[in-house]
Amino acid sequence: MESVELVQAMKAIVFDSDNGPHLQGDYPQPSPASGEVLVAVETIGICRTDLEILKGYMGFTGVIGHEFVGTVIGGPDEWMSRRVVAEINCNCGVCEFCTTGLGNHCPSRSVTGIAGRDGVMAQQAVVPLVNLHKLPDSLTNDRGVFAEPLAAVLRIGQQVDLDGANVVVLGDGRLGQLAARAIKGPAAALLMVGKHAGKLQLASAVGIDTRGLKEFTPDRSADVVVDATGSPEGFELALRTVRPLGTVVLKSTFAVGGGMNLAGVVIDEITVVGSRCGPFAPAIEALDTGKIEVTDLISCRFDLDHGIEALHAASDGRNIKVLIDVEQ
Ligand SMILES: [Zn+2]
Ligand SMILES: [Zn+2]
């Protein structure tokens, strides 16, 4: 009676250093431990971190992916059948960091699809209950899947005073686009600098001033520069763009570090702020109210069977957000 047995194998996009990324049709179905829920994954977003993992970032092995919308199919009653997103840092809950509101920096954390824990590029995934956020019915999967990366750019406003600031965002990719949209409200002036005319056009269509990299002359006048280029050269350009005593926010992680020259940081007394994960609640609200528009950033979509093609598409500089739709 095969048809009534529980599914014990599932499709998943798996990475290991010997085989690279590959579709596995018989990956073991995950089973939630105490304090975890089982989620049927519906929509997955691909981000640069996923692509960096394929180059060896974090030495990760397992199911990749961390941006998703899904429905809870195993867990406490009040969560069953709820459409959810989930924060990615899975913390111990008891250490000095976790008990003082700094759980994202828990030294023994695992991170969904990034470090020590299987991710969401699969038919099903397991996530900690405390990481879940319900999505309002009015918020579509295509918008909700941006909750994690939007939270990450809202983090900038928690770290740096953007009110009335003159801000330059370097990079017109996934994170640069979201950062500019989030910063446009509080900033007095905002300029996005990028290499791709089509991507800059998307930003100017939502009222953001843009400049092509070739036409951009850095003049050390910006109060805050957000480096979302994803390349080591971005930091050097940021140091030539920020004013003395200004702030550079780093949003890029690299599989391989560049030989950075930090003399400018000292000479111009620049504050360098590393910025990673941010608050989900305001991200979900901004997506739900339409305060921050995101669906124009979706370049193309694939089903899970074509997840490898989706990864290729996401690494094509002409595309911004690539989504994967999962059928159960
Ligand atoms: Zn991400
Ligand atoms: Zn901890």
Q: Quick: pLDDT tens for 98-135.
A: 999 999 999 999 999 999 999 999 999 999 999 999 99
Taking the CA of 102 as reference, the closest ligand is 2
Distance 174 CA to ligand 2 centre (A): 30
CA proximity to 121, closest of 14, 7, 9: 14
Collect all residues with Cβ–Cβ distance below 8 Å to 9 and sequence separation of at least 6: 25, 26, 27, 28, 29
- pLDDT tops 50 at residue 4: no
Distance 66 CA to ligand 1 centre (A): 6
Q: What is the pLDDT of residue 1?
A: 39
Q: What is the pLDDT of residue 6?
A: 57
**Percentage of residues in the chain with pLDDT exceeding 90?**
88
**Percentage of residues in the chain with pLDDT exceeding 70?**
96
- pLDDT tops 70 at residue 40: yes
- pLDDT tops 80 at residue 7: no
Distance 32 CA to ligand 2 centre (A): 20
Q: What is the pLDDT of residue 230?
A: 84
CA proximity to 39, closest of 106, 135, 108, 116: 135
Confidence of residue 56 (pLDDT cuts 50, 70, 90): confident
CA proximity to 264, closest of 222, 236, 228: 236
Distance 30 CA to ligand 2 centre (A): 23
Confidence of residue 252 (pLDDT cuts 50, 70, 90): confident
Domains present along the chain, CATH in parentheses: 2-146+294-325 (3.90.180.10), 152-274 (3.40.50.720)
Taking the CA of 98 as reference, the closest ligand is 2
pTM for the structure as a whole:
0.94
Distance 159 CA to ligand 1 centre (A): 19
Q: What is the pLDDT of residue 258?
A: 59
- How many Å apart are CA 40 and CA 54, to the nearest integer? 24
Q: Is 99 helix (H, G, I), strand (E, B) or coil?
A: helix
Confidence of residue 58 (pLDDT cuts 50, 70, 90): confident
Taking the CA of 52 as reference, the closest ligand is 1
Residue ranges with CB less than 5 Å from ion ligand 2: 91-92, 95, 98, 106
Taking the CA of 92 as reference, the closest ligand is 2
Distance 234 CA to ligand 1 centre (A): 19
User: 158-189, pLDDT tens digit by residue?
Assistant: 999 999 999 999 999 999 999 999 999 999 99
Distance 44 CA to ligand 2 centre (A): 27
Q: What is the pLDDT of residue 186?
A: 94
Determine the average pLDDT of the residues in 134-149: 98
Torsion of CA 72, 73, 74, 79, to 10 degrees: 40
Determine the average pLDDT of the residues in 231-258: 85
- How many Å apart are CA 16 and CA 6, to the nearest integer? 27
Other C-beta atoms within 10 Å of 8: how many?
Answer: 9
Taking the CA of 120 as reference, the closest ligand is 1
Determine the average pLDDT of the residues in 53-58: 88
Q: Tokens 């941010």 label which residue?
A: 278
Q: What is the pLDDT of residue 263?
A: 85
